Chain A
Amino acid sequence: NAGVTQTPKFQVLKTGQSMTLQCAQDMNHEYMSWYRQDPGMGLRLIHYSVGAGITDQGEVPNGYNVSRSTTEDFPLRLLSAAPSQTSVYFCASSYSAQLGGQLHSPLHFGNGTRLTVT
């Protein structure tokens, strides 16, 4: 298994540009999520999904959109990039305890996308 794959690894955007961060997992996990991590800070949840067709907001959703058309993919869209969105973005997935999956299924993280908005 490749696990959780994030692309691109690095990206530089100008203010106002839009882009999509890709996340794919091959473990058949129901639950997927996006976090951002700023220097010296912990991870903050942006959006999450408990299954295909279902998404919900996390702690810091403003400026980001998500969709979950398949179990495998959970892209994160920046609608109009701002310097405040400069960060490292991590995608993570796990089985869903609520759906009868493994109760202690841990989060599996990708290696991150480093985004700079100038």
Chain B
Amino acid sequence: DAKTTQPTSMDCAEGRAANLPCNHSTISGNEYVYWYRQIHSQGPQYIIHGLKNNETNEMASLIITEDRKSSTLILPHATLRDTAVYYCIVRPINRGAQKLVFGQGTRLTINP
């Protein structure tokens, strides 16, 4: 799987948009970008995934650059409950979720 680079930590004010960047400059054409998050002491939770087009669901939006070397997860109106560690993972579609590797992620703190 391609290596990803994320900032160690970020802060965001409650009610503002939280933009979490991820660099994946060695991504291959068949690799997708996945985002998970882990709220304190809970198991990680899937958020969203994408290949090259921007994606949106009820939790977040995913913006992938045209060259696919980086992406941004956007939480449009962050709440205190969005405080968590966010993991960006790149992997080929044919491997599914097998042997998924979680790096250190970005610790996002939403401040009141």
**A residues lining the B interface (CB < 8 Å):** 4, 31, 33, 35, 42-43, 45, 48, 50, 58, 88, 90, 92, 94-98, 101, 103-112
Contact = CB atoms under 8 A, between A and B. Distances in A.
Contacts of B100: 33, 45, 92, 107
17 contacts: A33-B98, A33-B99, A33-B100, A42-B103, A43-B44, A48-B98, A58-B99, A90-B43, A92-B97, A97-B94, A97-B96, A106-B34, A106-B97, A107-B46, A107-B100, A108-B46, A109-B45
Interface of B is mostly: loop
- Size class of the B contact interface (CB-based, 8 Å): 20 to 34
Interface string B86-112: 010000011111111111110000000
B96 A94 contact: yes
Contacts, number: 75
A42 B96 contact: no
Interface of B: 32, 34, 36, 41-46, 49, 87, 93-105
